[in-house]
Amino acid sequence: MTAFVTVDQVDKVFPLPGGNEYIALSGINLEVKQGEFISLIGHSGCGKSTLLNMIAGLDMPTDGIVLLDGQHVKRPGPDKMVVFQNYSLLPWMSVRENIALAVDEVMSGVPRSERDQIVQHHIEMVGLQPHADKPPAMLSGGQKQRVAIARALAIRPKLLLLDEPFGALDALTRGNLQEQLMQICEENHVTSVMVTHDVDEALLLSDRVVMLTNGPGSKIGQVMEVNLPRPRKRLEVVNHPSYYSMRSEIIYFLNQQKRIKQLRARKKSAIARHGLEKINLEIGFVPLTACAPLAVAKEKGFFAHHGLEEVNLVRESSWRGIQDGIAGGYLDAAQMPAGMPVWLTIGGMDNKPLPVVSALTLTRNGNAITLDKNFYNQGIHTLNDLKRMLLETSDRQHTFGMVHPASMHNLLLRYWLAAGGIHPDKDVTLTTIPPAQMIANLKAGNIDGFCVGEPWNVRAAVEEIGYTIATDLEIFPGHPGKVLGVREDWAITYPNTHIALVKALLEACRYCMDEANHEEIREILSRREYLSTDLAYIHLGDPNPLVCDIHPSPKEYAHHLFYGQGVNRPSRTEHLWMMTQMARWGDTPFPRNWVEILERVCRVSVFSIAARELGLSDLTYSRGAIQLFDGVTFNTDDPIAYLNSLEIKHDIYMAEVALDTPLPRAS
């Protein structure tokens, strides 16, 4: 369908005193189909109303054009009616007279009787017949807004524009008016663009939600299709299976923009000192027991000891926040799932390769697969039991949570299922959920189980809502869990800072491994700025008997390894295995230039320098072949043959991954 409204490469710049200027909007492209309802959402100052005003012709773009039905929008007119938050009614005129004023102005050539009929029809449309002859002072806020909507629609505009039309109304009035507006727009095929701050309002009314990034220079950050059936009723909408995932997506975007704004405000230009190119760092982490090395490096002064005097640890609720922070350049470095550097480098994020390097493995192990306690009551104690149950309940779809496509949680869960003859994308459903939300989703019955890092498996067991059916010590003992990740261009720009960061965290890893420090570290992790959870759920080494009792048969708790021989040095063999698993499940193609990718991702040289300068040269490590619990051996000889040998998999695709920058000589 041809676009009814086209916003083409629109910029808006406002002059400031002293010859300066403020860039409100930059490179806005948007197409609206006839009869479509679009919502613009974003934080204050992102240019939502500015964009609406340019579509209305109330303001002109600095650059680019706006088209309505193929015509250049150069001025306001009756073909584009705007409903504002403040009603804009003439106080000395009645409801009927306010509407008639607009109709008489636009339809002066139409007979009076027909104009009166149009006014009466729109009064009845918005349910104001009993109040038709009252002045605005005698109306409620909701009634006044109904008059404004009726006046706008009475002149039969091509486009209805709404600037937070319900923002000043109470919840009940707002809800009633929203449903009335929906009905009017659907019955009359009205094309609408609305500015709102209300996520639920946007989902209820819209066909698409357009999300704007922070100003200055706001852009369209994301456009969401609202695939909820029409006609819509509020209660039916909130109970739709897709509603809360769409709502969470918009809230995530808004929270991320808020976080970016905070980081921009705090971000300073690079400060060089002690021979380091930069000493002020923003480092991202997700609240898991595995974040212990970062918390310890901060609290025990290891960052400062190595010259990194201004380190701020940024607490993200999900791994997506980490990937977006690194991609956007708002984070200097981050704790990452082991597969994320490879995943970003080969284009896992929006099919755009973003070279990311890792010079340090922060943790190994620490993950487990937990199932709903009801499964145990049905006799599901092993992988074979689970397969039998799935065959017996093939009419029901079972859902399992994991935290990110590139995480070992996802790769281990998929490998475990496939080894038992269960196809992870056909026989069950896997869904991405932030780690801290796993327990709530398991309690609510939204998922049947999950694979996640601690403390969430222990918490499910202690609260008796789940049980551990397998730990990573059984599936892939000693696998990399979390790694340090930085963008490759950052590592090239700040090489000495990168080494100092690895040194500080390597010392913190060693501190975490010492059992004498565990009670102190548990107390640090329990604080609000880190895990913000009870000490009973946090364990670093071998747990007490109560925590061990998470399954009738003895099961070793999947405690983390933070430091030691073969623990911290990045392994190209392990990264290659993760690369094959991502290709196995169709998440990314397998790169033909996989040797180059591994050389760029695994910065063994940086680790070696850091270890040598700390006097830890005995941490040498050469990873041999990987053997998992099913007896299949993986080595680096022929990854393509390995992929072809797997029985349960997606179609395998191969592609050359084009990386923009050349491989640095030092690597």
Query: How far apart, in whole angstroms, are the C-alpha atoms of residue 6 and residue 113?
Result: 37
**Cα-flanking dihedrals φ and ψ of residue 161, to 5°?**
-115, 130
pLDDT classification of 558: cutoffs 50, 70, 90: low
The better pLDDT of the pair 662, 131 is held by: 131
Report the range of poorest mean pLDDT among 179-188, 313-322, 392-401, 475-484.
179-188
pLDDT at 607 > cutoff 60 = yes
**Tens digits of per-residue pLDDT, 165-183?**
877 677 777 787 788 878 8
Identify which of 179, 194, 171, 117 has the alpha carbon closest to the alpha carbon of residue 146: 179
pLDDT classification of 621: cutoffs 50, 70, 90: low
pLDDT at 597 > cutoff 60 = yes
CB 190 within 8 A of CB 197: no
Sign of the torsion formed by the C-alpha atoms of 3, 248, 321 and 423: negative
Query: 656, exposed or middle or buried, with CB in 10 Å at 0-12, 13-18, 19+?
Result: exposed
The whole-number pLDDT of residue 589 equals 93
pTM (2 decimals)?
0.77
Query: How far apart, in whole angstroms, are the C-alpha atoms of residue 207 and residue 325?
Result: 29
The whole-number pLDDT of residue 666 equals 36
**Tens digits of per-residue pLDDT, 51-87?**
999 999 999 999 999 999 999 999 998 888 888 877 7
The whole-number pLDDT of residue 147 equals 85
pLDDT classification of 665: cutoffs 50, 70, 90: very low
Report the range of poorest mean pLDDT among 3-17, 30-44, 145-159.
145-159
Task: Please state which CATH number belongs to domain 5-258.
Answer: 3.40.50.300
pLDDT at 664 > cutoff 60 = no
- The mean pLDDT value for 195-211 works out to 94
The whole-number pLDDT of residue 362 equals 97
Output the average pLDDT for the chain.
89
The better pLDDT of the pair 576, 83 is held by: 576
The whole-number pLDDT of residue 546 equals 43
Per-residue three-class SS string for 165-184: CCCCCCHHHHHHHHHHHHHH
CB 346 within 8 A of CB 657: yes
Question: Any idea which residue has 């004498």 for tokens?
Answer: 516
The better pLDDT of the pair 227, 554 is held by: 227
The whole-number pLDDT of residue 663 equals 47
The whole-number pLDDT of residue 620 equals 63
- The mean pLDDT value for 35-64 works out to 94
CB 588 within 8 A of CB 578: no
Q: According to the per-residue pLDDT averaged within each range, which of 122-136, 405-419, 440-454, 542-556 is highest?
A: 405-419
Sign of the torsion formed by the C-alpha atoms of 86, 88, 94 and 100: negative
What would the two tokens of residue 435 be? 């780690």
Q: According to the per-residue pLDDT averaged within each range, which of 349-358, 465-474, 537-546, 624-633 is highest?
A: 349-358
**Tens digits of per-residue pLDDT, 489-502?**
999 999 999 999 99
| 421-436 CB burial, b ≥16 within 10 A, e <16 | ebebeebbebeebbbb
The better pLDDT of the pair 556, 579 is held by: 579
The whole-number pLDDT of residue 22 equals 93
Domain spans in the chain, listed from the N-terminal domain onward: 5-258, 275-363+479-540+560-655, 367-475
The whole-number pLDDT of residue 102 equals 83
The better pLDDT of the pair 394, 357 is held by: 357
Cis check: omega of the bond before 165, within 30 degrees of 0: no
The whole-number pLDDT of residue 483 equals 97
pLDDT at 577 > cutoff 90 = yes
Task: Please state which CATH number belongs to domain 275-363+479-540+560-655.
Answer: 3.40.190.10
Do the two domains 275-363+479-540+560-655 and 367-475 of this chain adopt the same fold? Answer: yes
pLDDT classification of 474: cutoffs 50, 70, 90: confident
Long-range contacts, 173-182 (Cβ 8 Å, 24+): 173/140, 173/141, 173/142, 174/142, 174/201, 175/234, 176/142, 177/142, 177/145, 177/146, 177/149, 178/204, 178/205, 178/234, 179/233, 179/234, 180/126, 180/127, 180/146, 181/149, 181/205, 182/231, 182/232
pLDDT at 656 > cutoff 80 = yes
Q: Please state which CATH class domain 367-475 belongs to.
A: alpha beta
The whole-number pLDDT of residue 545 equals 46
Long-range contacts, 415-421 (Cβ 8 Å, 24+): 415/475, 415/476, 415/581, 415/628, 416/369, 416/383, 416/470, 416/475, 416/629, 417/383, 418/646, 418/647, 418/648, 418/649, 419/383, 419/628, 419/629, 419/630, 420/383, 420/384, 420/386, 420/387, 421/387, 421/648
Hey, what's the torsion of the CAs at 393, 399, 405, 411, to 10 degrees? -50
For residue 641, give Cα distances in angstroms to 367, 603, 627, 657: 29, 27, 16, 20
The DSSP output letter for 289 is G
Question: Any idea which residue has 């039905």 for tokens?
Answer: 69
pLDDT at 552 > cutoff 80 = no
The better pLDDT of the pair 362, 381 is held by: 362
CB 42 within 8 A of CB 213: yes
Query: How far apart, in whole angstroms, are the C-alpha atoms of residue 398 and residue 388?
Result: 13
The whole-number pLDDT of residue 667 equals 34
Query: 610, exposed or middle or buried, with CB in 10 Å at 0-12, 13-18, 19+?
Result: buried
Q: Which amino acid appears at position 215 of this protein? A: G
pLDDT classification of 471: cutoffs 50, 70, 90: confident
